[in-house]
């Protein structure tokens, strides 16, 4: 679905929720729903339709306990552990709480890379969640717990539009390529403590198609991660880096983006199979308290246009909690 498709396509007949697009390409505000209560099938189907159309959706003024957050997330599928490397909350292992202090620590580890790795280009934190595993999560859900009055915004980009914006010649070039994704320098730089659940903490390395076919819509999209995608298989190093830089530039073009300004009790759901994000984008200058909680739902092995299916090269799959 292109931006033109969204503009020309008749808006869905939403009867249970309100849907207000934020941009023509990506993002919509959803209202008239209380996510702390169980959702009837018709209401949830409208929420799913909004995600298919706008890729990322925003809810305001949602009072959610940890149990209510998880109950809402299960509408999208089985929940994963909080993260392949980091642990979740002790009483809620599906929930990953991030504070601004963790981003400040991240800056101190930016130069800590495993042997043979060169520092990635600075693309201001843009990424798709956990692509260093072979089966990244399908959906990501982020809830604002402690939100300052300003700063800490998150950007989201439509990866389908980023692919469609390329010339047909470049599309043909990349449709059959694969790229290696590794745990990042930040992950290597952190002390990996044993997990309470006994899961391995990495390192993780996976081989993915450079172009992914969306498992629900069949659309092609760019599938790469600054700082995690190390190289394109079969290309010389300078060729690989030049092509990755070109594609990163497309992913981060402003016309494919929406910017979300957080307020307390805001909740965001995005299709991690079709959306890249960056945030909090100003953490290097940020001093105010900020905390968010994230849950993710199980995803499948990505497939490319040529039928190539992602596979792990090192480390386990991102399996759901048993």
More confident residue, 120 or 81: 81
How high is the pLDDT of residue 199? 76
How high is the pLDDT of residue 100? 81
Reported as a single tens digit per residue, the pLDDT across 101-122 is 776 555 444 444 444 444 445 5
Q: Report how far residue 321's alpha carbon sits from residue 318's, in angstroms, rounded to the nearest whole number.
A: 9
Contact 93, 197 (CB under 8 A): yes
How high is the pLDDT of residue 172? 98
pLDDT at 229 over 80: yes
Q: Tell me how far the alpha carbon of residue 279 is from its chain's centroid.
A: 11
DSSP E strand boundaries for 113-162: 139-146, 154-158
Instruction: Count other Cβ atoms within 10 Å, centred on residue 127.
Output: 19
Fold exhibited by the domain 3-314: Double-stranded beta-helix (3.60.130)
Q: What is the 3-state secondary structure (H, E, C) of 45-87?
A: HHHHHHHHHHCEEEECCCCCCHHHHHHHHHHHCCECCCCCCCC
Q: Report how far residue 227's alpha carbon sits from residue 129's, in angstroms, rounded to the nearest whole number.
A: 12
Where exactly are the structural domains of the chain?
Answer: 3-314
How high is the pLDDT of residue 59? 98
Q: How confident is the model at residue 65 (pLDDT cuts 50, 70, 90)?
A: very high
More confident residue, 4 or 130: 130
Whole-number percent of the chain with pLDDT over 70? 86
Residues involved in catalysis: 127, 129, 277, 294
Q: How confident is the model at residue 124 (pLDDT cuts 50, 70, 90)?
A: low
> How confident is the model over 260-284, as a mean pLDDT?
94
Mean pLDDT, the chain, rounded, equals: 89
pLDDT at 191 over 70: no
DSSP E strand boundaries for 61-217: 96-99, 139-146, 154-158, 178-182, 205-209, 211-213
How high is the pLDDT of residue 285? 82
**Coil, helix or strand at residue 251:** helix
Secondary structure (DSSP) of 302-315 = -B-TT--B-EEEES
pLDDT at 189 over 50: no
């Amino acid at each position: 679905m292109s931006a033109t498709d969204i503009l020309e396509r008749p808006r869905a007949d939403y009867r249970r929720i309100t849907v207000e697009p934020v941009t023509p390409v990506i993002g919509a505000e959803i209202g008239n729903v209380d996510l702390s209560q169980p959702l009837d099938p018709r209401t949830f189907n409208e929420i799913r339709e909004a995600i298919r159309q706008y890729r990322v959706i925003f809810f305001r003024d949602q009072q959610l306990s940890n149990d209510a957050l998880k109950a809402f997330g299960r509408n999208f599928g089985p929940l994963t552990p909080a993260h392949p490397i980091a642990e979740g909350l002790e009483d809620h292992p599906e929930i990953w709480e991030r504070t601004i202090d963790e981003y400040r620590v991240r800056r101190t580890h930016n130069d800590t890379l495993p042997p043979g790795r060169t520092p990635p280009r600075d693309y201001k934190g843009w990424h798709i969640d956990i692509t260093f595993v072979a089966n990244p999560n399908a959906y990501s859900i982020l809830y604002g717990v402690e939100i300052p009055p300003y700063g800490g915004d998150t950007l989201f980009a439509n990866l389908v539009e980023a692919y469609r914006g390329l010339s047909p010649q470049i599309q043909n070039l990349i449709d059959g390529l694969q790229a290696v994704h590794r745990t990042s320098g930040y992950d290597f730089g952190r002390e990996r403590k044993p997990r309470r659940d006994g899961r391995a903490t990495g390192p993780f390395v996976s081989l993915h198609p450079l172009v992914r076919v969306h498992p629900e819509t069949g659309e092609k999209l760019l599938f790469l991660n600054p700082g995690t995608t190390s190289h394109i298989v079969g290309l010389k190093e300078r060729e690989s880096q030049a092509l990755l830089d070109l594609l990163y530039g497309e992913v981060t073009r402003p016309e494919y983006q929406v910017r979300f300004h957080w307020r307390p009790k805001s909740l965001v759901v995005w299709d991690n199979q079709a959306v890249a994000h960056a945030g909090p984008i100003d953490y290097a200058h940020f001093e105010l308290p900020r905390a968010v909680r994230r849950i993710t739902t199980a995803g499948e092995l990505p497939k490319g246009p040529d039928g190539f299916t992602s596979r792990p090269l090192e480390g386990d799959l991102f399996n759901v909690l048993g």
